[in-house]
Structure formats: structure tokens, C-alpha cells
Amino acid sequence: MKKTLLAPSLLSADFSDLSGAIKKIENDGGSIVHIDVMDGAFVPQITYGQPVIKSIRKLTDLPFDVHLMVEKPELMVDSFAEAGADWITFHYESTVHLDRLIHHIHDLGKKCGISIVPSTPVSFLSQILHLVDLVLVMSVNPGFGGQSFIPYTLDKISELKKIREEQGLDFKISVDGGVNEKNFAEIADAGADILVSGSSFFSGKLKWEK
């Protein structure tokens, strides 16, 4: 059986010690570094951007999945690619010309993820699922770490898994928000290939073996 991968979210790290946070991700079972970029417009907080990613890029060989919670992501993908993103994930709800942006990210030589907030149905992705490398199912309303998993998002994970099988597609399913030591098995069973975890991982509650 395929092993579910853990992608710890830097949002819950101590920002005064990002180097220590990256070491913990490497040592405690992380396969991907999940980097939440917030612009204070698509979501209320502002986190970090290209210069921070550039400086932590040299600390690890683990892939970076940059989760853009920003308006107009098309204005930023070149500079995030340049800064060291391996995967660039943007929100369905944040822009209009999804097809163009997905192709542009691929032209930059990067993997492309598309994310949906809890209230966006999976069916809205029907025209573009064959183009993306990853679907990031938000299981909380984006913007903050430490929120509770929204149970109805489990059905969206299963729905994506079913569509992927029926249509012979190969995008990864990643789940982000409220994943913890109590619910991770159920979420993985529903079809998640990648579990993003911030607070539960950095508080030491969610233990993971690669």
C-alpha cells in the first residue's frame, strides 16, 4: 500500500528559528515542506514571501510546496519559482484564468497544485483536473493555523479519489487544516496522499515515520 506523506506546515513553526523548524521537519518524518503564503487580502494575515523562501531554500533538499493564499497569484508565480518553490499551489477562488496559470507554472518547470476552500465543490475543478499535479483540499477556512477539521471535507477527498480512478488521472490529493494525531488515519483512508500538518506536528503530538 502506498504510504501517505507528511507535509509539515511552517506556519506553526517558531519564526525566530526557521532553521530549527526545517531540521525538525527532516528528522521527524516530513517529506515536503508546506509553506503558507498569505497576503492580507485573500486571507487576513500576512506571513512571509519570496525572500524568506529564498533564504530557507539552502537549508534542505526537501521539496517546497508553496501554498499561495493570495489574490492575483499570476503576478507572483515567477518570483516564487525563482525563490525555490518546487510545487506552486494556488486557489481556485483567487483568480480567473486558471488554465493559463497552470500552463505557466508548468512552463516555469514547476509542479502545479490547485486548492479549494471548504465551500467550493470539487465539481468546479472538472475542466482542469487533468492539468494539475495536485489538488489541495482545504479542511479549514484558510488563514490561520490551529483550527478544527471540518468533517464534510472528508467527502470531497473521497470524491476526488473516485474521479481520479474513473478518469485514469494521476494528481495527488493533499489535505490541509486541522489534521492531527486523532484524525489522520481517517483522512488518509478517505484518499489523502499527503497530509499537511501545522500545529499538531510542531507541538509534537503528531508523530510520523516516513
Measured from the CB of residue 107, what is the shortest distance to ligand DX5 in angstroms?
Answer: 26
For 30-142, strand residue ranges (E) read: 33-38, 64-69, 87-91, 111-116, 134-138
Kindly list the catalytic residues. 36, 176
Closest listed residue to residue 172, CA positions, set 95, 86, 100: 86
Binding residues with ligand DX5: total (CB under 6 A):
22
Measured from the CB of residue 22, what is the shortest distance to Zn ion in angstroms?
Answer: 17
Closest listed residue to residue 144, CA positions, set 34, 50, 69: 69
Closest listed residue to residue 175, CA positions, set 199, 149, 200, 202: 149
Angle at 25 between CA 19 and CA 29, to 5 degrees: 160
- Asked if residue 147 binds ligand DX5 (CB under 6 A), the reply is yes
Is the separation of the CB atoms in 174 and 135 below 8 Å?
A: yes
User: Per-residue string for binding with Zn ion, 145-184, x by CB under 5 A?
Assistant: -------------------------------x--------
Residues 86 to 145 in contact with ligand DX5, rule: CB under 6 A: 140, 142-143, 145
Measured from the CB of residue 166, what is the shortest distance to ligand DX5 in angstroms?
Answer: 28
Indicate which of ligand DX5, Zn ion, none lies near residue 91 (CB less than 5 to 8 Å, by partner kind).
none
Residue with Cβ nearer ligand DX5 (77 or 187) = 187
Q: From CA 113, how far away is CA 136, in angstroms rounded?
A: 7
Tally Cβ neighbours within 10 Å of residue 89.
28
**Site residues for ligand DX5 per CB under 6 A:** 9, 11-12, 34, 36, 67, 69, 140, 142-143, 145-147, 176-179, 196-200
Annotated binding site for substrate: 9, 67, 143-146, 176-178, 198-199
